[in-house]
Structure 1
Amino acid sequence: MRTNEEIIDLMNNLREEKNISISELARRVDVAKSSLSRYFNKTREFPLNRTDDFAKALGVTSEYLLGIDFEKPKNMFFPDEIIKIPIIGTIAAGEPITAEQNIDEYVPFVSSTVPSGKLIGLNIEGCSMSPGIPDGSRVLVRLQPDVEDGEIAAVLVNGDTEATLKRVKRQNGMMMLIPDNKRYDPIIVTKDTPVKIIGKAVQVFYNL
C-alpha cells in the first residue's frame, strides 16, 4: 500500500495529466479548496475514507490509488475474446469466399476454443463424410490454398459455386477427393472437373 506522500504525488500527477485544476478537483469531490490544498501541500493527511471519491474524480480505481495488490481468487476468471466466424452458404461465382453475399450468418465463438488462423464455417448437408462428419453438422475451416495428403479439405466444385468437404488423396500425379462414407464415389480431378481447395477442416460441431 502507498504511503500518504505517495498517494498525494500520484493524485497530483494524475491531476496534471488530465489537466484538472485544484479548484475543479475540489468541486468534483465536494471538498473545500483550502482543505484540498493542504492535502497536496502534505500538511494534512489524505482522508482514506474519501478514496473512492478521489479515484472516481481522477478516472482510476481505489485499488490503484492506494497501491493495493490482491491475489486473484482461484474461482475468478477473465473471459477470452469473442470472435464472430462467418458461415458460408451458396457461393457467388467469381467472388472471394468471404464476400458478404456468400455469408449466411456470423456465429460467435470464444477465441480460445477454436484453432488459429482465418476461419469460416460450413453447414454440412449429406452423409458423404459420415460417421465422423454427419449430416447437419457444422465444420470450421481454416482458409489455406492446400492441404497435406489424407487431410480433409473444403473444396470448391461446380464452377466454384459449391463447397464440398472431402479427403484429399494424391497418387501418380493425380488428385482425388475421397468421401469417408464408402457408399459414395470419389471425385477424380481432371481438366473437365477442376476443383479449388479453399481450406482445411479443423473442427466439427454437431448435436447428439
Structure 2
Amino acid sequence: MKSIEVAKRIEKIAEEKGISGAELARRMGTDRSTITRYYKGIRKISMEEIPKFAEVLEVDVIELLFGSTAKNINLVSQEKVAIPILGKIACGDPILAKENIENYIYKPADSLPSGEIFALQAKGDSMDPTIPDGAIVLLRAQPDVENGEIAAVLVNGDEEATLKRVKKQGDTVFLMPDNNKYAPYIIDENNPAKIIGKAISYEMLL
C-alpha cells in the first residue's frame, strides 16, 4: 500500500461525493495546502490518519487501503479491522482516546475475538521469552484476568501501561515478569495498578 495510491483514492472519492479540498480539510481539522500536498504525493498520509479519512468520507478503511474492488472480494478474511496501538496513556482520558494512540495495525476481522481490541508494543525483555522485545501484543479490553494470564496493566499513576503475568495469592496481586532477571511488582495501596486488558496474541513487525 503506497501513500500516493491512498491519496488518489481519497481524492477520487471526495470528488465523487462533491467534497472540495477545502471542505475535506475542514472536516479533517487541517488546512487546504496539506490536502493538496497529499493529493500530489508531496506529503505522505500516515496509517493513523486513514481511519479519520474513512470516517469523514463515509467509506470503509479497506476501500481506502485497497480500492473499491476489495469490498467485492467474497472472503471474510479480507475484511480488515483497524486496531489502535497505544503509547503513553494520558491521565484521566479513556484508554482508547485519540491522544493515547500512536499508530494502527490492520487484522482480518475473522481472526479477532469479540470485544474491544487494542494493542501495545512490548518494550524491554521483562516478558522474554514469552513475549519478545518489540512485539506488537493484541489485547482484549477487560478489567480483570484469570490467575496466571498476561495482562496490560496501568501503573505509575495510570499513565504507563506494562505487560505482566498476573498472579493472585489471597488478597495479594503480583505482576510477574517471565524473565527471572526482573523482580515482581506487588500491587498494594502504595503501588496501585489497574488491569485494562488481556493479552491474546502477539506478532513481530517486519
Tell me if TM exceeds 0.5. Answer: yes
Match among 72, 75, 85 for residue 78 of structure 1: 75
Moved more, 83-92 or 110-119: 110-119
Query: In the alignment, residue 150 of structure 2 is paired with which amino acid?
Result: I
Whichever of the two has the greater Rg, that structure is 1
More helix by share: 2
State the distance in 1 between where 2:205 and 2:103 align: 19
Match of 1:168 in 2: 166
Q: How many residues align?
A: 133
State the distance in 2 between where 1:111 and 1:146 align: 24
SS in 1 for 2:99: helix
State the distance in 2 between where 1:203 and 1:160 align: 23
1:40-119 paired onto structure 2 within 5 Å? 78-80=75-77, 81-119=79-117
State the distance in 2 between where 1:172 and 1:114 align: 33
What displacement does 1:78 show? 2.0
Match of 1:186 in 2: 184
* 5+ residue gaps, structure 2: 1-72
What displacement does 1:115 show? 2.5
Q: Would the aligned equivalents of 2:155 and 2:194 in 1 still touch at CA under 8 Å?
A: yes
State the distance in 2 between where 1:194 and 1:126 align: 22
SS in 1 for 2:110: helix
Match of 1:136 in 2: 134
Tell me the C-alpha RMSD between the 2 structures. Answer: 1.5
4+ runs deviating over 4 angstroms: none
State the distance in 2 between where 1:82 and 1:206 align: 18
SS in 1 for 2:143: coil
State the distance in 1 between where 2:188 and 2:107 align: 38
Match of 2:33 in 1: none
What displacement does 1:112 show? 1.6
For each residue in 1:26-54, what CA deviation from the matched residue of structure 2 results, as whole angstroms up to 9, or x when unmatched?
A: xxxxxxxxxxxxxxxxxxxxxxxxxxxxx
For each residue in 1:63-106, what CA deviation from the matched residue of structure 2 results, as whole angstroms up to 9, or x when unmatched?
A: xxxxxxxxxxxxx9524321100000011001110000000112
SS in 2 for 1:154: strand
Match among 191, 195, 201 for residue 197 of structure 1: 195
Q: Would the aligned equivalents of 2:151 and 2:165 in 1 still touch at CA under 8 Å?
A: yes
Match of 1:26 in 2: none
SS in 2 for 1:112: helix
Q: 1:207 to 1:131 in 2, by over 3 A?
A: farther
